[in-house]
Copies of this chain bind each other. A is one copy, B any other.
Amino acid sequence: MISVEEAEKLISDNLDSLPTETLLLEQSLGRTLREPLLADRELPPFNRATLDGIAIDSSAFSLGKHSFPIVGIAAAGTAPKTLHDSNTCFEIMTGAPLPGGTDAVIRVEDISIQDGTATVSTTTEVKPGLGVHPAGSDCRQGQILLKPGRTITAKETAIAASIGKTKVVVSKLPTINIVSTGNELVEISDTPLPHQIRRSNDSTLAAALISSGFSNTSKHHLPDDKAIVENSVATLLQNSDVLVIAGGISKGKYDYLPNALKENGAEMVFQWVSQRPGKPLWFGIYERGGKRIPIFALPGNPVSSFTCLHRYVIPALAKMAQTHEAPQTHIKLKQSYSFKALLSLFLPVSVATDNDGTLWATPLPFNTSGDFISVAQTSGFIQLPKDQVDFEVGSVHRYFPWS
């Protein structure tokens, strides 16, 4: 049995990067950027008015002049004009280029206009640069604005659009096949007999992967039948970039999967991890066309597979996509907790900040079974180390949010 950290490293060491593809910017939301985005010109590209008002030569104001005849309008989207007489001014609109010969914008609130002349209130503080966003102050041409590895959200969209990237190079979505197993499972639409339960694992794991940005998922179900399992595994290995299985991998009589995977050429990297839930976790690799197809066989209990998906599969997919690693979140335990087994514990918790900016994790009530009914009231889990039994109020642990 290996540790959580060993399992994590063995998975990480066996991953290939996903290929890239070029997408329309508006279809790239949630994808990982795989090219640097560079400024195509200095920004702002001109001295830009940040207010509506008048543009003047501030030195004229310093010399005591307060009334300026208006000689024209500088509007956003028009070529820069030039002020030839510093005793006059331009009306100017937010976003317009500052006219040559001017160096300050005085806002509407500080002026009065009568008969084509703007008078600046004498209490106004005017200095060069007032109301001006100077050309090149945000970035120079060729500067890297976004590095590869960024997840594309709205703010990355803003930058890409501003530099004219209608298309971006991103990580391709892997084809992920999700397989549930077990004869006790019936379709969601069926009314189960007392000894049956509805099949929810595949839908739940798919939903979590979609929420994490890996939307190219297909759901499958395998009965506890040796021949069917072996044939299906053969097909799935050919059709997957990543294979996620829930159930059928433990020590039960009908757990045909480890053998079926081996028979079909997949190589086990490890099985059995000192953790709860998820001890039977199996990880392997299938080599196909020079690529390593990772196979995650998760225990079939719904909360186990859900937890292992968040602890191992989603981070692995993020690494394959070359997404920058998210910073770890640390969180304080709100109640003391004891756990005797020599296993790392993934403990579902609800999380809140107090008025002091501290993150507190409240574990599930002690008597709940870890079923989804109680897990649905939590926001993620903390990882409690395996070499410790008692965890005190205020002890700090690593937190993994549900997707």
Chain A contacts to B: CB under 8 angstroms: 25-26, 29-30, 39, 43-46, 50, 52, 73, 75-80, 91, 93-97, 108, 133, 137-139, 145-146, 153-159, 161-166, 182-185, 188-200, 203-208, 210-211, 224, 250-255, 300-302, 306, 327-332, 352-360, 368-369, 371-376, 396, 402-403
Most buried by B among A79, A189, A195: A195
- Is the pair B301, A330 in contact by a Cβ cutoff of 8 Å? no
- Is the pair A204, B155 in contact by a Cβ cutoff of 8 Å? yes
Q: Which residue of B lies closest to A108 (CB)?
A: B251
Q: Which residue of B lies closest to A397 (CB)?
A: B357
- Is the pair A137, B369 in contact by a Cβ cutoff of 8 Å? yes
Write the nearest CB–CB distance from A205 to chain B, whole angstroms: 8
- Is the pair B353, A359 in contact by a Cβ cutoff of 8 Å? yes
Instruction: Evaluate whether A25 and B330 lie within 8 angstroms (CB atoms) in the complex, with A197-B44, A302-B158 already known.
Output: no
Please name all residues of chain B whose beta carbon is closer than 8 Å to the beta carbon of A252 when the two chains form the complex.
52, 93-94
Instruction: Evaluate whether A165 and B188 lie within 8 angstroms (CB atoms) in the complex, with A93-B253, A153-B211, A197-B45 already known.
Output: yes
- Is the pair B52, A251 in contact by a Cβ cutoff of 8 Å? yes
Please name all residues of chain B whose beta carbon is closer than 8 Å to the beta carbon of A371 when the two chains form the complex.
43-44, 133, 138
Could you pull out 24 A-B pairs where Cβ atoms are within 8 angstroms? A26-B207, A44-B371, A45-B195, A45-B197, A52-B255, A77-B196, A78-B183, A78-B184, A78-B195, A95-B182, A153-B208, A155-B306, A155-B376, A158-B372, A159-B376, A161-B198, A163-B198, A164-B188, A164-B198, A165-B188, A327-B353, A329-B353, A330-B354, A356-B358
Using A155-B376, A327-B352, A357-B396 as known contacts, list a sample of 12 further A-B pairs with CB atoms less than 8 Å apart, ordered by residue number in A. A29-B211, A45-B192, A45-B197, A50-B301, A80-B194, A95-B197, A138-B369, A155-B375, A157-B207, A164-B190, A165-B188, A353-B359
Write the nearest CB–CB distance from A161 to chain B, whole angstroms: 3
**Of B79, B159, B396, which one neighbours A195 at CB under 8 angstroms?**
B79
Q: How far apart sit A156 and B138, CA to CA, in the bound complex (Å)?
A: 44
Q: Which residue of B lies closest to A134 (CB)?
A: B369
**Of B80, B93, B165, B358, which one neighbours A357 at CB under 8 angstroms?**
B358
- Is the pair B253, A73 in contact by a Cβ cutoff of 8 Å? yes
Write the nearest CB–CB distance from A241 to chain B, whole angstroms: 21
- Is the pair A162, B254 in contact by a Cβ cutoff of 8 Å? no
- Is the pair B155, A372 in contact by a Cβ cutoff of 8 Å? yes
Q: How far apart sit A41 and B89, CA to CA, in the bound complex (Å)?
A: 79
- Is the pair A183, B77 in contact by a Cβ cutoff of 8 Å? yes
Please name all residues of chain B whose beta carbon is closer than 8 Å to the beta carbon of A255 when the two chains form the complex.
52
- Is the pair B162, A189 in contact by a Cβ cutoff of 8 Å? no
Instruction: Evaluate whether A133 and B93 lie within 8 angstroms (CB atoms) in the complex, with A77-B185, A330-B353 already known.
Output: no
Please name all residues of chain B whose beta carbon is closer than 8 Å to the beta carbon of A50 when the two chains form the complex.
301
- Is the pair A193, B79 in contact by a Cβ cutoff of 8 Å? yes
Instruction: Evaluate whether A154 and B195 lie within 8 angstroms (CB atoms) in the complex, with A52-B251, A183-B77, A372-B162 already known.
Output: no
Please name all residues of chain B whose beta carbon is closer than 8 Å to the beta carbon of A138 when the two chains form the complex.
368-369, 371, 373-374
- Is the pair A80, B195 in contact by a Cβ cutoff of 8 Å? yes
Instruction: Evaluate whether A357 and B372 lie within 8 angstroms (CB atoms) in the complex, with A25-B188, A79-B193, A250-B52 already known.
Output: no
Please name all residues of chain B whose beta carbon is closer than 8 Å to the beta carbon of A26 when the two chains form the complex.
203, 206-207
